[in-house]
Amino acid sequence: MLIVMKPQATEGDIRGVCEKIEALGYRAHPMPGAQRTAIGITGNQGALEAAEFESLAGVAEAIRVSKPYKLVSREVKNEDSLIRVGTGENAVTIGGRELTVIAGPCAIESREQAFAAAERVRRAGARLFRGGAFKPRTSPYSFQGLGKAGLEILAEVRREFGLAIVTETIDPENCDLVEQYADVLQIGARNMQNFSLLKRAGRSSKPVLLKRGMSATLEEFLMAAEYILSEGNYHVILCERGVRTFADHTRNTLDLSVIPAVKRLSHLPIIVDPSHGTGQRDKVTPLARAAVAVGADGLMIEVHPQPERALSDGCQSLYPDQFEALMEQVSAIAAVVGRTTAKSLPIFD
Amino acid sequence: MLIVMKPQATEGDIRGVCEKIEALGYRAHPMPGAQRTAIGITGNQGALEAAEFESLAGVAEAIRVSKPYKLVSREVKNEDSLIRVGTGENAVTIGGRELTVIAGPCAIESREQAFAAAERVRRAGARLFRGGAFKPRTSPYSFQGLGKAGLEILAEVRREFGLAIVTETIDPENCDLVEQYADVLQIGARNMQNFSLLKRAGRSSKPVLLKRGMSATLEEFLMAAEYILSEGNYHVILCERGVRTFADHTRNTLDLSVIPAVKRLSHLPIIVDPSHGTGQRDKVTPLARAAVAVGADGLMIEVHPQPERALSDGCQSLYPDQFEALMEQVSAIAAVVGRTTAKSLPIFD
Amino acid sequence: MLIVMKPQATEGDIRGVCEKIEALGYRAHPMPGAQRTAIGITGNQGALEAAEFESLAGVAEAIRVSKPYKLVSREVKNEDSLIRVGTGENAVTIGGRELTVIAGPCAIESREQAFAAAERVRRAGARLFRGGAFKPRTSPYSFQGLGKAGLEILAEVRREFGLAIVTETIDPENCDLVEQYADVLQIGARNMQNFSLLKRAGRSSKPVLLKRGMSATLEEFLMAAEYILSEGNYHVILCERGVRTFADHTRNTLDLSVIPAVKRLSHLPIIVDPSHGTGQRDKVTPLARAAVAVGADGLMIEVHPQPERALSDGCQSLYPDQFEALMEQVSAIAAVVGRTTAKSLPIFD
Amino acid sequence: MLIVMKPQATEGDIRGVCEKIEALGYRAHPMPGAQRTAIGITGNQGALEAAEFESLAGVAEAIRVSKPYKLVSREVKNEDSLIRVGTGENAVTIGGRELTVIAGPCAIESREQAFAAAERVRRAGARLFRGGAFKPRTSPYSFQGLGKAGLEILAEVRREFGLAIVTETIDPENCDLVEQYADVLQIGARNMQNFSLLKRAGRSSKPVLLKRGMSATLEEFLMAAEYILSEGNYHVILCERGVRTFADHTRNTLDLSVIPAVKRLSHLPIIVDPSHGTGQRDKVTPLARAAVAVGADGLMIEVHPQPERALSDGCQSLYPDQFEALMEQVSAIAAVVGRTTAKSLPIFD
């Protein structure tokens, strides 16, 4: 159920409604909007009585939410969510007019590699840096990431290049460590329904980038995000990264139709990862253009200073020059769909 | 095998090589190029000896074609194929710089409906008109099209509005009739591996629009086109229209990555049908933008003067006003990727 | 709509109802049952009035059919359909207590090959012989079958070995020829929605074996069968042959759950083709056992006297000895699920 | 690499080889076999030199393992693995001649419900009891299990009915608790690539039941098992539970071909869960028969005393009477494929 407050409702009115909800044993999710505040209720078994809330001070109406997902739904919050990432000079807003570009290597391999990548993606206009310190790999014998040493390098990258850091967390305990370093916690496709991790991320103060599972329906994707919001963290960015089909000309099949589908149902921003979505370097830029054209809020791109020597996902990583060309092209598309990009910000001055 | 002629080879040299090929019981496919002619050989069982051809007059070299598809391959023909459609004032070239837009209703229902649609799509900038006279329907009890009467209406649309006509043919016998009316023969997704129909279309003088089957791999798609070319009709336009996956938020999953994949392997043009690709009116325009951004040579869009009254596929058909808006948007994207559109040509004057 | 006649209704009553239906411009499908006759009505647009029929002589009731498929549905005919194939000594009934086994090579390659296969599969207990004379192949350059010469060989096999013949027809015109030779017309997976061919087969006097398309839903599969029945041919055998998925350890993913699903919805018999369903020789026998255990009415198995020399599908064809072992195993499973097999019938005596 | 010891190699020889391996910084996995011991090596980057090991005392040969999975492979261990579960009277062996049947409710809801289910499944011949105390649910608002209280009930079920307990663990920390109660740790489909959980389970002394992910290839499935073995726990039971496809007549598509495919590549036992595999009560028994016929080592079946009142997965749970009938049928099939069942053991005496 959603309690919509009157425009003139006071802080006290809002607090009163939340206290009433919690006294009944449920959870209150106040969501301030431009015009007025709404308060989502979760934790109830079965339907609630609207009348019980509509008589409280400051309440405009109590609305039943028809979808299985509640807090992620446009029924509960109609305006697009803006997710603020980083602080001070590194601060970026995701979901607004500016197209978000996250770029960097699949895995952090060394300080040199990370710095070389960061310098180039920053110069080309990326505002966020990606790089895995903890890598979930299909084989137990593959490179699993540098771990804490990788996180330290990422912290240096942030300081040195003014890039906000997006990096993956792989289990609840690991989240304790990663959230000390990351500006955005990434949850990978294989963990989209790792509900323990989703709940833990839901108790973090850091925004969460949630990748769609390889065979997740739209409803399952939104329900996974709902797990995070239901624990109190409303700062979730969705990410389409391709789904698994019979098609064998790409590693996954990038499902760009999910972008307008999400936009219709949810207020959360959604970005696209054409690197994993195609698995092939020469397909990344065309699909990045398409992602911006379809209406995505941003892109996540793998860039490596020497892709042929990468310890993971080399064949889908762009050369820095290719990333620069990509930024040129997506900036032009972005302009057509009413978005801006920070294609080329001055650094070191 | 591919016989590459010398730049200075004469008509007689080319004829000589073709005769030699046919004397051996194979089929020769001469393909004139900007610089020089190549001659594809099909019909052989097992490998051929290069030496047997390299000694002939005018031959530069004989190259083994490594792919299972031959005539559709860039190995055989490196330059993009340009497909000329229609004649006189209706003439259009597909695969060149101008973005091709095919629009019209799913099925021809009446002269009034067809004219109303044609007038609007023409005015908005479409150069080709689509509309089914013979409709393959999942149920034997659904509307199966007006048949020959529908073709007559299509011929009137061509005369009246100067639009080239794209319409579906459903079996080899039916092709005899349809090719008398159509400028482009459409082969639907369910018939992508109807090899009798492919061979018949391969003997037609009309270009063929071949839709990808619902679960066709890229190789199967190109092999289906190869059937048409192997019979001598080199004027094939491919069309991505969505594939079948577990995803349930759209009717099909539009696989835009197939566009750069086709471009890499084949010289044939490829367009996108976001109407069938999504099955939902509100997804058509975003995916049309994405299709142009990814590099498609054109679009095929369902437009109906009154979608809510359509006899088939109403919920994916655009209102004429929506189609106009789509044309505005894709024209802007087209400009960014180096293409032109005929967004708004004068008619009736 | 379904008109259920009273048990004591006369031939004249039935004829009267059919005439009434046809006078209204619809099509009548009388279906005699053990207790009483039912008459299906197709061809109407929109719902019919029950009262219009319930007042006719001999009519018990008029029932609306809720499914999109009518004639194939258990709503219209509750008892399992028994399909009689062949004549005289070759006669076999499909859908009854005896498990149907169809075996033979993918393609007829020569008289010797066909006879060698026929002799062995007959001895091992198969009652029907499969073998393609017209082969739909992914590549135009692959062996396409012996054509009419192949059909002649099949006719010899029938005479010599007393096996009923199952062979594929690939288009409506080709059906004119094939139905002169075949006891059962096979329609392949790629043609499951070749509606012209379905309609033509619906006008044949021969039973039809309809294979499920590679990405056909259950409803589409039953609708394809409905096309055949709607033209008057009620002798349809369905065949599951694997569907296309992301899984790569078999050529297709055999969907055995479709057997009980079909049994619930339709009166038509359904068999399983584990040869195409797996594409791997060593998986055929285990999946054949499973198919019988799940409740299939029969099996279709590729057997070749020398699989390593087969012109098509060699790697999924069993050696004759393997087929004998398969028959032993499926006979034992059949006994458990209440079915009989003709494992080893005397021949040449 | 795999070090195969001579039949007469001593304990000291084996220890010597292991010490050498560990001195090199790798991990040694000694695997005693009927004839002789083999020692797997993991943890190396790049190939090892066979000569380095073949000179050690007691070594017969050093073999390179060609597959990406090592310890799960038949290359490393040719004989079928037998997994011993439970202790004393509850002891059961999985992977041997006796068909394993695990049955019980989806979730433990109460002591009464669990006891009612246990009494019936025990009487019908199940030797292991399933029931979730921690439930991974798509929605954060669905019943998530009784938690520790559920585990206490499961421990009572073991004592009271002599059933070994199979229950799910959902994250590494939770594993500390669950392994105190469970005889078999279950890892669900959504967690098949939760590598932190796999590694934690690999350090447990309890056998692990690993369910195939919804879109996992065979290689990914085996690699997930490899994670568990690589940490030292060789007691893994695989479980096929259906994969996600376009097909909509069942909740998932049960892929029975994976059973012979696993048997060929791996020594690990594999069972089938037709309850999740179909999601429909009336499909469970036919697919259970098929699973035994195809060669599975066992079944996992949801049984609830009152399915219509179940808190989760009610529509796929069998009534106890249906489970008894299932056991009758699968026992008959099992006999045909050379297996025994403990269909009806006396209890309470």
A&C contacts, CB < 8 Å: 6
Whole-number pLDDT of residue D222: 98
Angle of helix A111-124 relative to helix A320-336, nearest 10 degrees, comes to 30
Residue A295 contacts residue A97 (beta carbons within 8 Å): no
Place of tokens 């060989």: C153
Could you tell me which residue, A313 or D24, shows the higher pLDDT?
A: D24
CA distance D247 to chain B (A): 8
Domains and CATH numbers, chain D: 2-63 (3.30.70.1140), 83-336 (3.20.20.70)
Whole-number pLDDT of residue B255: 98
pLDDT of B14 > 60? The answer is: yes
Q: B103 touching A, CB under 8 A? A: no
pLDDT of D163 > 50? The answer is: yes
pLDDT of D170 > 50? The answer is: yes
Element (H, E) at C322: helix C320-336
CA distance D292 to chain C (A): 8
Q: Is B46 left (phi over 0), alpha (psi -120 to 50) or beta?
A: left
User: Hey, are the CB atoms on D172 and A171 less than 8 Å from each other?
Assistant: yes
Identity of residue A78: N
Residues A32-60 pLDDT 10s: 877 888 899 988 877 888 888 998 999 99
CA distance A55 to chain B (A): 39
A&D contacts, CB < 8 Å: 83
Beta strand A27-32 pairing with A37-42: antiparallel
Q: C141 touching A, CB under 8 A? A: no
Tell which residue, A223, A237, A147, A232, has the closest CA to residue A192: A223
Residue C132 contacts residue C150 (beta carbons within 8 Å): yes
- pLDDT (average), residues C27-47: 85
Could you tell me which residue, C340 or C292, shows the higher pLDDT?
A: C292
Provide the chain A residues 244-273 that lie in CB contact (below 8 A) with chain C.
244-246
- pLDDT (average), residues B319-323: 97
Task: List beta partners, residue B104.
Answer: B302
User: Hey, are the CB atoms on D244 and B246 less than 8 Å from each other?
Assistant: yes
CA distance C126 to B336: 65
Q: Which chain D residue's Cα is nearest to A67?
A: D139
Residues B209-244 pLDDT 10s: 999 999 999 999 999 999 999 999 999 999 999 999
Q: Which residues of B touch D255 (CB under 8 A)?
A: none
Structure-block tokens of residue C264: 């619930």
Tell which residue, B156, B249, B150, B166, has the closest CA to residue B211: B166
Residues A117-137 pLDDT 10s: 999 999 999 999 999 999 999
- pLDDT (average), residues D282-300: 98
Instruction: Output DSSP code: residue C141.
Output: T
pLDDT of C347 > 70? The answer is: no
Element (H, E) at C223: helix C218-230
pLDDT of B349 > 50? The answer is: no
Quote the mean pLDDT of chain A.
Answer: 93
With cut-offs at 50, 70 and 90, classify the pLDDT of residue A347: very low
Between vectors from CA D177 to CA D176 and to CA D178, what angle results, nearest 5°? 100
Q: Which residues of A touch D138 (CB under 8 A)?
A: 193, 219-220, 223
The subunits that touch chain B, with at least 3 C-beta pairs less than 8 Å apart, are A, C, D
Whole-number pLDDT of residue B1: 87
Identity of residue A342: A
Residue B233 contacts residue B204 (beta carbons within 8 Å): yes
Q: Hey, of A214, A246, A251, A253, which one would you mutate to test binding to chain C, going by the most C CBs within 10 A of its CB?
A: A246
Tell which residue, D68, D58, D82, D70, has the closest CA to residue D2: D70
Structure-block tokens of residue D215: 């879109």
Q: Which chain D residue's Cα is nearest to C278?
A: D257
User: Hey, are the CB atoms on A244 and C246 less than 8 Å from each other?
Assistant: yes
Q: Hey, of C218, C250, C251, C256, which one would you mutate to test binding to chain D, going by the most D CBs within 10 A of its CB?
A: C256
Lowest mean pLDDT among C30-34, C109-113, C164-168, D257-261: C30-34
Structure-block tokens of residue B51: 């030496």
Whole-number pLDDT of residue D44: 84
Q: Which residues of B touch A259 (CB under 8 A)?
A: 286
Number of other residues whose CB lies within 10 A of the CB of residue C101: 28
Q: Which residues of D touch B246 (CB under 8 A)?
A: 244-246
Question: Distances in Å between the alpha carbon of C73 and those of C81, C236, C265, C266?
Answer: 11, 13, 6, 5
User: Hey, are the CB atoms on D196 and A171 less than 8 Å from each other?
Assistant: yes
User: Hey, are the CB atoms on A68 and D193 less than 8 Å from each other?
Assistant: no
Q: D172 touching A, CB under 8 A? A: yes
DSSP calls for D152-180: HHHHHHHHHH--EEEEE--SHHHHHHHTT
Q: C215 touching B, CB under 8 A? A: yes
Tell which residue, C101, C21, C103, has the closest CA to residue C59: C21
CA distance B348 to chain C (A): 39
Q: How far apart are the first and last CA of chain B?
A: 52
Structure-block tokens of residue D291: 């699973």
Q: Which of C170, C196, C215 sits opposite B170 (nearest CB)?
A: C196
CA distance D291 to chain C (A): 7
Q: Which of D138, D141, D171 sits opposite A172 (nearest CB)?
A: D171
Whole-number pLDDT of residue D343: 57
Of all residues in chain D, the percent with pLDDT exceeding 90 is 80
Structure-block tokens of residue B135: 């409709």
Provide the chain D residues 290-319 that lie in CB contact (below 8 A) with chain C.
290-295
Residues C237-255 pLDDT 10s: 999 999 999 999 999 999 9
Beta strand D270-272 pairing with D298-302: parallel
Residues A196-209 pLDDT 10s: 999 999 999 999 99
Q: What are the phi and psi torsion angles at C72 (to 5°)?
A: -85, -10
CA distance B17 to chain A (A): 36
With cut-offs at 50, 70 and 90, classify the pLDDT of residue B343: low
Q: Which residues of C touch D296 (CB under 8 A)?
A: none
Q: Which of C215, C254, C294 sits opposite D289 (nearest CB)?
A: C294
pLDDT of C88 > 70? The answer is: yes
Whole-number pLDDT of residue C343: 57
User: Hey, are the CB atoms on D293 and C286 less than 8 Å from each other?
Assistant: yes
CA distance A297 to chain B (A): 13
Could you tell me which residue, D315 or D349, shows the higher pLDDT?
A: D315
- pLDDT (average), residues D259-283: 97
Quote the mean pLDDT of chain C.
Answer: 93
With cut-offs at 50, 70 and 90, classify the pLDDT of residue C10: very high
CA distance C97 to chain D (A): 17
Q: Which residues of C touch B68 (CB under 8 A)?
A: 139, 141
What is the 3-class SS of D233-269, one letter each residue?
CCCEEEEECCECCCCCCCCCECCCCHHHHHHHHECCC
Q: Which chain C residue's Cα is nearest to B230?
A: C140
Residues B100-121 pLDDT 10s: 999 999 999 999 999 999 999 9
User: Hey, are the CB atoms on A171 and D68 less than 8 Å from each other?
Assistant: no
Q: Hey, of D252, D256, D297, D299, which one would you mutate to test binding to chain C, going by the most C CBs within 10 A of its CB?
A: D256
Burial of residue B65 (CB within 10 Å: 0-12, 13-18, 19+) is: middle
Lowest mean pLDDT among A257-266, B282-291, D28-37: D28-37
Whole-number pLDDT of residue C240: 98
Q: Which chain A residue's Cα is nearest to C214?
A: A246
Element (H, E) at C325: helix C320-336
**Strand, coil or helix: what is A236?**
strand
Q: B110 touching C, CB under 8 A? A: no
Q: Which residues of C touch A243 (CB under 8 A)?
A: none
Q: Which residues of D touch A219 (CB under 8 A)?
A: 138
Whether the full predicted model's pTM is greater than 0.95, yes or no, is: no
Q: Which of A248, A256, A257 sits opposite B217 (nearest CB)?
A: A248
pLDDT of B248 > 90? The answer is: yes
Residues D207-258 pLDDT 10s: 999 999 999 999 999 999 999 999 999 999 999 999 999 999 999 999 999 9
Structure-block tokens of residue C268: 């038509």
Q: Which chain B residue's Cα is nearest to C199?
A: B140
Provide the chain B residues 314-343 that lie in CB contact (below 8 A) with chain A.
329, 332-333, 336-337
- pLDDT (average), residues B78-92: 91
The subunits that touch chain C, with at least 3 C-beta pairs less than 8 Å apart, are A, B, D
CA distance D112 to D307: 14
Residues C58-85 pLDDT 10s: 999 898 888 889 999 999 999 999 999 9
Q: Which residues of A touch B293 (CB under 8 A)?
A: 286, 289-290, 292-294, 333
CA distance D17 to chain A (A): 21
CA distance C158 to C172: 24
